[in-house]
Amino acid sequence: MAWYDFFANFYDRSLDGLYRDARAAALQALAPAPGQRVLDLPTGTGPSTEGLARAVGPTGRVIGVDLSRGMLRRATARATRLRDDPALAPIELLHGDVHALTPELTGGPVDALHVFLGMSTFPRPDDAFERLWATLRPGGRCVVVDVFAAKLGFQGRMVNLVARADIRRRSWELLERVATDFTRTDLPSRRQHGGTLFLAVGVKPG
């Protein structure tokens, strides 16, 4: 995590604009309702938390989890700036490893699961997704956004190096295997993404 602690210092300047439209698409696809509890993992510097907190409103809650304390410091600063907005849900930020995630850590099952640029970076993606899926209540909705490249070009190799990722993973298939109402959509992508941005969404069977 030392690299991500350092990366946090320039993450927003480097990548905020590159993924802004994809974050908006993820929020629209997740469609969290007022009063719901949403898990955002990895939350990173918290760029998705304001949109999620506004969608679920003051009776809801956004729970952001990340393994990098450097990222969480940035996310905490962002949440502090937002905490006096009465239209937003409380944002709770937790230090934790997805591979040790339990519903107890999140205070019980969540209503919606937002996984943005995580599945390509988790060391053990199958185990990570199983942990994430276990936190989602039956009937809850999950959105996964990530990058996929069947073959790595120069930019793809750079993305893997900088993000400590493997964008050759077909991460949407983990959700497709277990979800109902599954859809996968390719999002507008740029060369800097290193591959094709995709958005996958599905519902946990009741």
Residue written as tokens 């996958």? 200
Average pLDDT along the chain, 206 residues, taken 10 residues at a time: 84 89 98 98 98 98 97 96 94 97 95 98 97 98 98 96 96 98 97 97 96
Tally the domains of the chain: 1
Within 13 A of 81's CA, how many CA atoms are on the CB side?
9
Per-residue pLDDT tens over the stretch 122-160: 999 999 999 999 999 999 999 999 999 999 999 999 999
Domain encompassing residue 41: 2-203
CB 117 within 8 A of CB 96: no
Nearest alpha-carbon partner for 173 in 157, 165, 184: 184
Give the distance, in angstroms, between the CA of residue 160 and the centroid of all CA atoms in the same chain.
17
pLDDT in tens, 42-63: 999 999 999 999 999 999 999 9
pLDDT at 1 (0 to 100): 67
Here the CATH number for the domain that contains residue 126 is 3.40.50.150
Q: Is 180 left (phi over 0), alpha (psi -120 to 50) or beta?
A: beta
pLDDT of residue 8: 87
